[in-house]
Structure 1
Amino acid sequence: MNEALLDADRGPREALGVKLRQLRKARGWTQEDLADRSAYSPTHISAIETGRKPPTLRLSRDLDRIFGLSEDTFERDFYNLRNGALLEGFAAYVKEEERAVEIRLFEIGLVPGLLQTPAYARALAEADVWRGLITEGQAEHRLTYLAKRQASLQRLRPPMMLVIMDESCLRHRVGSEGVMQEQFEALAAFAARPNAVLQVAPHALGQARPFNLPVYLLTMADGSQVGYAESQIQGQMEREPSRLLGIRAAYHHLMAEALSPSATVALITQARKGKL
Structure 2
Amino acid sequence: MVNIKELNPASSPQAAYGARIRRFREERGWSQDDLAPKIGYSSQHISAVETVRKPPTLRFSRKSDQAFGTTGTADSFEREWSEMRNGSLLEGFPEYVGYEGRAVELRLYNLGLIPGLLQTPEYARVVAYGDVERGAITAEQADERVAFLAQRQAALERSRPPMMFVVMDESCLHQAVGGPEVMNAQLERLIELASLPNWIIQVAPFGMGERRAFHLPVNLLTLADRSIVAYAESQAQGYVERETSLVAPMFTTYHQMQGDALSKAASVAKVSQLRKGTP
Q: TM-score, normalised by structure 2?
A: 0.76
Root mean square deviation of aligned Cα: 2.5
Distance 1:76 1:275, change over 3 A: farther
Distance 1:270 1:240, change over 3 A: same
SS at structure 2 position matched to 1:155: coil
Unaligned residue ranges in structure 1 (runs of 5+): 1-12, 14-30, 61-73
Which residue of 2 is the match for residue 77 of structure 1?
82
Q: Is the contact between residue 103 and residue 162 of structure 2 (CA under 8 Å) also seen in structure 1?
A: yes
Q: Is the contact between residue 88 and residue 235 of structure 1 (CA under 8 Å) also seen in structure 2?
A: yes
Structure 2 residue corresponding to 1:181, chosen from 137, 162, 184: 184
Q: Is the contact between residue 203 and residue 261 of structure 2 (CA under 8 Å) also seen in structure 1?
A: yes
SS at structure 2 position matched to 1:223: coil
Structure 2 residue corresponding to 1:136, chosen from 139, 145, 159: 139
Structure 1 residue corresponding to 2:251, chosen from 243, 248, 251: 248
Distance 1:36 1:115, change over 3 A: closer
Q: 1:53 deviation in Å?
A: 3.2
Which residue of 1 is the match for residue 90 of structure 2?
87
Which residue of 2 is the match for residue 210 of structure 1?
213
Distance 1:88 1:75, change over 3 A: closer
Unaligned residue ranges in structure 2 (runs of 5+): 1-16, 18-34, 47-62
Which residue of 2 is the match for residue 49 of structure 1?
71
Distance in 1, matches of 2:64 and 2:125, equals: 42
Amino acid at match of 1:189: E
Distance in 1, matches of 2:146 and 2:276, equals: 28
* Residues paired across the two proteins, number: 228
Which residue of 2 is the match for residue 67 of structure 1?
none
Q: Is the contact between residue 47 and residue 53 of structure 1 (CA under 8 Å) also seen in structure 2?
A: no
When Rg is computed on C-alpha atoms for both structures, the one with the higher figure is: 2
The superposition leaves residues 122-161 of structure 1 with CA deviations (integer Å, 9 ceiling, x where unpaired) of 1111111111010011001001100000000001111000
What is the 5 A alignment of 1:55-70? 55=77
Q: 1:248 deviation in Å?
A: 0.9
Amino acid at match of 1:140: D
Q: 1:47 deviation in Å?
A: 3.2
Which residue of 1 is the match for residue 167 of structure 2?
164
Q: Is the contact between residue 80 and residue 86 of structure 1 (CA under 8 Å) also seen in structure 2?
A: no
Q: TM-score, normalised by structure 1?
A: 0.76
SS at structure 2 position matched to 1:243: helix
Identity %: 47
Distance in 2, matches of 1:179 and 1:140, equals: 17
Q: 1:245 deviation in Å?
A: 2.1
Which residue of 2 is the match for residue 6 of structure 1?
none
1:271 aligns to 2:274 (yes or no): yes
Distance in 2, matches of 1:34 and 1:97, equals: 35
Structure 1 residue corresponding to 2:114, chosen from 67, 86, 111: 111
Distance in 2, matches of 1:43 and 1:111, equals: 37
Distance in 1, matches of 2:144 and 2:74, equals: 25
1:194 aligns to 2:197 (yes or no): yes
Q: Is the contact between residue 102 and residue 220 of structure 1 (CA under 8 Å) also seen in structure 2?
A: yes
Which residue of 1 is the match for residue 227 of structure 2?
224
Distance 1:88 1:271, change over 3 A: same
